[in-house]
A and B are shown apart, each in its own frame.
Chain A
Amino acid sequence: MDLELLTQLTQAFGPPGYEEEIRAVIREVVTPLADSVWVDPLGSLVALKRGTGGGKKTVLAAHMDEIGVMVTYVDEKGYLRFTRMGGISPLMHIGGRVRFADGTVGVISVERREDSSKIPALEQLYIDVGASSREDAPVKVGDPAVFMRPLVAQGRRLISKTLDDRVGCYVLIETLRRLGPTPDDLYFLFSVQEEVTLSGARTSAYKIDPDMALAVDVTMTGDTPKALPMAVEMGKGPAIKVQDSGMIAHPAVRDLLIAAAERVGIPYQREILLGGSTDAAAMQLVRGGVPSGCVSIPCRYVHSPSEMVDVTDVEQTVALLSAALAPA
Chain B
Amino acid sequence: MALKTETMILNMGPQHPSTHGVLRLELELDGELIVNVKPHIGYLHRCFEKHAEAMSYPQVIPYTDRMDYLASMYNNFGYVIAVEKLLGIQVPERVEYIRVIMGELQRIASHLVAIGTNGLDIGAFTPFLYLFRDREKILSLFEMTCGARLLYNYMWVGGLSHDIHPDFVRLTKEFINYFRPTITELNNLLTFNKIFIERTANIGVLPLDTAINYGVTGPSLRGSGLAFDIRKEDTYSIYDRFDFEIPVGQGLVGTVGDSWDRYYVRILEMEQSLRIIEQAIDQIPDGDVKAAIPKRIKPPKGTVYTRVENPRGELGYFIISDGNLNPFRVKVRAPSFVNLEVFGELCKGHLVADVIAILGSIDIVLGEVDR
The judgment on whether A and B are partners is no
Interface residues of B (CB under 8 A from A): none
